[in-house]
Amino acid sequence: MPAIVLSTLNARFIHASLGLRYLLANLDELRTDAALAEFIITDRPAEIAEKLLALNPRILGLGVYIWNVEETTRLVALLKAVRPELVVVLGGPEVSYEWEGQTIAALADYIIGGPGDLAFPRLCRDILNGNPPAERFIRAETPDLRKLELPYAHYDERDIAHRLIYVEASRGCPFKCEFCLSALDRTAWPFEPERFLAAMDELYRRGARHFKFVDRTFNLNIGTSLRILEFFLDKADPELFLHFEVIPDHLPDRLKEALTRFAPGALQLEIGVQSFDPEVQARISRRQDNAATEANLRWLRQHTHAHLHVDLIAGLPGETLEVFARGFDRLVGIDPHEIQVGILKRLRGAPIDRHSESCGMCYNPYPPYNVVRTDVLAFAELQRLNRFARYWDLIGNSGRFKQLRPILLGDSPSTRFLALSDWLYARTGKTHEIALNRFYDFVFEFLTAECGEEACRIREALEADFRASGTKRHPRCLLDTATPEMRRSVENVGTRRQIRHSQA
């Protein structure tokens, strides 16, 4: 039985914790007496506890994040009730700052704030040697990356076959955007390129083809970025998929040239725009050349095969609904593949909190700590924006409405889509669990009945989108083009439901 178990609750099975693998890799002589045990947040706490306790560890290290803190709190409470002598050590961004007063922190034995690569092994040695520290909170130092063991050997064959492989060529960020915990970093610092690329080559040799880079600013050092891109381009492998997070206003020509050489489906770029408004940017200490950002996004869209995933934040300090709408419209005009609309969250320790009083920022006291009111956005308006973001993900980002989307958005995308969002919520009372075929019907009804669009034109666009989607359940608005069998199936749904209720 292992003396040390490293565990976390991932959001989905496809995710594999890079942080746990760093801890395992750097346990040195304790590594043979340690084990990984990953779960997902939908697993039942009692079943997780049973599996963890069956391993009979002396020390349990748990990674705590904004998406799993509530479930992990219930797990720790249960573990401590069943086996109070188990030493529980917490780490991760959710407990690295403002940990006092957190229920999970009160339940745990120790908390490591910051990078635990070296602090966790040192704590384990002290505990196992009978010299546990008196202080419960340990502030970890920033490690020398040259002294860290890389974690990639601890992705097993199942991970490589079925899960995303998270990697990092650098840590830290030189920018000070106040909504992000990376604003606390002094700078960014790289791993040694030769050692990193050797590890990537070994992962590739073992069968890894999907690499998700977690670097905050992949294109900060262009020389290093090019070495990594050339490494993967030299593989000439049609199964490769790479994900990078890039800053949008720093794309020199030699980097652009490399990006043009990736085949369709091989490259995804996550690009944080967040806001196009200079006053909002200045307020949150964000440096961004908006003209260069727009020009680079347009260039990437027109000259590369990269899938562009662009982030926009709603609810930033001092940002009105109109300011957000202008930024959204500007992005729609650029036409990236996805516009991820996120509502501002107050991460523990992030400097954004300094605006709470001056800008009337009020946040949800429970995860995900989203802003619920500002001095320029009422609670009801932020609720509308939450629904806007959800419906946009289902319609605008899904890829299922390619022909219809330009008609739907018209000349004022934010105005039109907010109207659809309000109408959909009034019509359904839901933002989840709406069948796809019903979405086609709702959009058809909104555009024809509410906006006065010509039914034939809308039906023609929806027909093309429906056929391209591969969806089997035919929407009612397209019954004229359905096969007789499909038509009877749709028309009989209500009758069958009535029969079932009458027989109950």
- pLDDT confidence of 485, banded at 50, 70, 90? low
User: 15-36, pLDDT tens digit by residue?
Assistant: 999 999 999 999 999 999 999 9
Q: Which two tokens stand for residue 313?
A: 């934040």
Q: What was the pLDDT predicted at 49?
A: 98
Q: How confident is the model at residue 479 (pLDDT cuts 50, 70, 90)?
A: confident
Task: Note the pLDDT of residue 450.
Answer: 96
Position 470 scores a pLDDT of 84
CATH (residue range 164-377): 3.80.30.20
Going along 315-450, which residue ranges are E strands?
338-343, 362-363, 371-373
Q: Output the six-digit token pair for 270.
A: 């996550």
pTM of the model: 0.92
The mean pLDDT of 204-218, rounded to a whole number, is 96
Residue-level pLDDT at 482: 53
Name the band, by pLDDT with cuts 50, 70 and 90, for residue 484: low
Summarised one tens digit per residue, pLDDT across range 169-194 is 999 999 999 999 999 998 899 999 99
Amino acid at 201: D
- Residue 504 has a pLDDT of 41
The CATH number for 4-143, chosen from 3.40.190.10, 3.40.50.280, 3.10.450.50, 3.80.30.10, is 3.40.50.280
Q: Please check the confidence at residue 255 and state whether its pLDDT lies above 80.
A: yes
Distance CA 306, CA 255 (A): 13
Q: Which amino acid is at 307?
A: H
Q: Which of 193, 313, 190, 292 is nearest to 247 (CA)?
A: 292
The pLDDT confidence band at residue 497, using thresholds 50, 70 and 90, is very low
Q: Percent of the chain beyond pLDDT 90?
A: 91
Structure tokens, 168: 């990092």
How many CA atoms are closer than 13 Å to the CA of 449, on its beta-carbon side?
Answer: 10
The predicted pLDDT at position 494 comes to 41
User: What pLDDT, on the 0 to 100 scale, is given for residue 186?
Assistant: 83
| Per-state percent for the chain, helix, strand, coil, to nearest 5 | 45, 15, 35
Which part of the chain has CATH 3.80.30.20?
Answer: 164-377
Taking the C-alpha atoms of residue 165 and residue 18, their distance in angstroms, rounded to an integer, is: 8
pLDDT greater than 60 at residue 69: yes
Domain with CATH 3.40.50.280 in the chain: 4-143
**Which two tokens mark 271?**
């690009």
Least confident window among 400-404, 458-462, 466-470: 466-470
For 21-44, what is the HEC assignment? HHHHHCCHHHHHHEEEEEEECCCC
- Predicted confidence band at 472 (pLDDT cuts at 50, 70, 90)? confident
* Structural tokens at position 342: 């996120």
Distances in Å between the Cα of 317 and the Cα atoms of 18, 50, 182, 346 are: 33, 45, 18, 11
Distance between CA 425 and CA 487 in Å, rounded?
Answer: 28
354-385 per-position pLDDT tens digit: 999 999 999 999 999 999 999 999 999 999 99
Using DSSP's 3-state secondary structure scheme, residue 400 falls into coil
Model confidence band, residue 474 (pLDDT cutoffs 50, 70, 90): confident
Distance CA 380, CA 378 (A): 5
pLDDT for 405: 94
pLDDT at 499 over 70: no
Q: Per residue in 330-355, pLDDT tens? A: 999 999 999 999 999 999 999 999 99
Position 305 pLDDT exceeds 80:
yes
Residue 417 pLDDT exceeds 60: yes
pLDDT tens-place string over residues 82-96: 999 999 999 999 999
pLDDT in the model for residue 480:
72
Rg over alpha carbons for the chain, rounded to the nearest Å, is 25
Question: How long is the chain?
Answer: 504
Residue 288 pLDDT exceeds 50: yes
Q: Which residue has the higher pLDDT, 495 or 396?
A: 396
- pLDDT of 413 strictly over 60: yes
**501 pLDDT band (50/70/90 cuts)?**
very low
Helix axes 321-334, 413-428, angle to 10 degrees: 110
- Structure tokens that stand for 308 in this block: 């562009």
Is the Cβ–Cβ distance between 220 and 188 less than 8 Å? yes
